[in-house]
Amino acid sequence: MYLVTGATGNVGGAVVRALVDAGAEVRGLSRDPGRAGPDLPPGATAVAGDLNRPETLAGPLEGVRAAFLLPGYADMPGAMAEVKRAGVDRVVLLSGSAVLATDTGNAISRYMIESETAVRDSGVPWTILRPVGFMSNTLQWASLLGAGDVVRAPFAGVRVANIDPYDIGAVAAAALLSGGHEGRAYSLSGPASLLPADRVEILAKVLGRDLRFEAQPDDAARAEMSAAMPAEYVAAFFSFYADGTLDESQVLPTVEEIVGRPPRTFEQWATAHAGAFR
């Protein structure tokens, strides 16, 4: 039995599918299992629990061999104490490349560092995954493409070797299902370092549309982001991508080394999700 947090999200959902495809039994942890259950594949069961309330975890953790955890919960040390008490063999934590940023005082780096520290200090064997930006973040452009053929996006000069959550799920499942990954922190990337304009060009090819990229000025980007997220997160993103404290451009061999195949390309991701942009 395997426990997956965030089981209906981009990465957690990929972990669930990879585990189920491998024949494993999976519990998807949710604050509202009634809503999450229909989104889980056969072979996965939604269970009620909340990492911010460690007292809710005893039942979901019963008989669990390994657990996949998301970062950023307020009481990660308490949650990890419950994981250890349940006798879980290993955990895989989704972290991010932000822990490697030179500005480690920003909010995103801080919550990832705190989560990693809680897992490392728990006494439970661990594996940490540090992917770069997700290809699925491109879904933010869906509403723009519903209104026209122009994509306006910030940080136009920043290259990112974006990764498909499918590949993060495959690596996580490998670390959950087999030994040999304990005590390792894996940095993960996709197969190509792309500018936002490169992604628009590939998306245009997949959709058969004449799309155009326009760089969004920093002031406009800051205002738009401030309407959607806390100010400390806006400051963190500008630190990473405007000030250059985070480099996610490097193409890494880790996915292929662990799962035995190259990571999926952005064109493969776009083809699989083309319906979201139509």
Report the amino acid identity of residue 207. L
What is the reported pTM? 0.96
Q: What is the predicted pLDDT for the residue at 141?
A: 96
Report the amino acid identity of residue 9. G
For the chain, where are the alpha helices, taking DSSP H only? 10-21, 33-36, 58-61, 76-85, 107-120, 142-147, 165-177, 196-207, 218-226, 231-241, 254-259, 266-272
Phi, psi for 39 (deg, rounded to 5)? -90, -5
| pLDDT tens-digit readout, 178-235 | 989 999 999 999 999 999 999 999 999 999 999 999 999 999 999 999 999 999 999 9
Question: Which helix H or strand E contains 46, and what residues bound it?
Answer: strand 44-48
What mean pLDDT value characterizes the chain? 95
Query: Which residue shows structure tokens 């953790």?
Result: 61
Report the amino acid identity of residue 268. Q
- Rounded to an integer, what distance in angstroms lies between the CA atom of residue 225 and that of residue 235? 10
Residues 6+ apart with CB under 8 A from 273: 136, 139
Question: Which helix H or strand E contains 193, and what residues bound it?
Answer: none
The answer to whether the beta carbons of residues 266 and 162 sit under 8 Å apart is yes
Closest CA to 48 of 16, 58, 79: 58
Tokens for 118, please give them. 């809680």
Closest CA to 191 of 131, 255, 133: 255
Question: Residue 4 CA to chain centroid, in angstroms?
Answer: 13
Q: What is the predicted pLDDT for the residue at 14?
A: 96
Phi, psi for 186 (deg, rounded to 5)? -100, 125
Report the amino acid identity of residue 35. R
Q: What is the predicted pLDDT for the residue at 37?
A: 81
CATH number of the structural domain 2-132+165-188+252-263: 3.40.50.720
| pLDDT tens-digit readout, 11-42 | 999 999 999 999 999 999 988 888 778 889 88
CA dihedral 199, 203, 205, 208 (to 10 degrees): -150
| pLDDT tens-digit readout, 143-164 | 999 899 999 999 999 999 999 9
- Rounded to an integer, what distance in angstroms lies between the CA atom of residue 137 and that of residue 266? 12
> Residue 176 — very low, low, confident or very high, per pLDDT cuts 50/70/90?
very high
Is residue 137 scored above 90 in pLDDT? yes
Query: Which residue shows structure tokens 């200090």?
Result: 121
Q: What is the predicted pLDDT for the residue at 138?
A: 97
Query: Which residue shows structure tokens 């792309």?
Result: 194
| pLDDT tens-digit readout, 73-128 | 989 999 999 999 999 999 999 999 999 998 888 999 999 999 999 999 999 999 99
Strands 126-131 and 90-94: parallel
For 46-164, where are the alpha helices, taking DSSP H only? 58-61, 76-85, 107-120, 142-147
Q: What is the predicted pLDDT for the residue at 179?
A: 83
> Residue 43 — very low, low, confident or very high, per pLDDT cuts 50/70/90?
confident
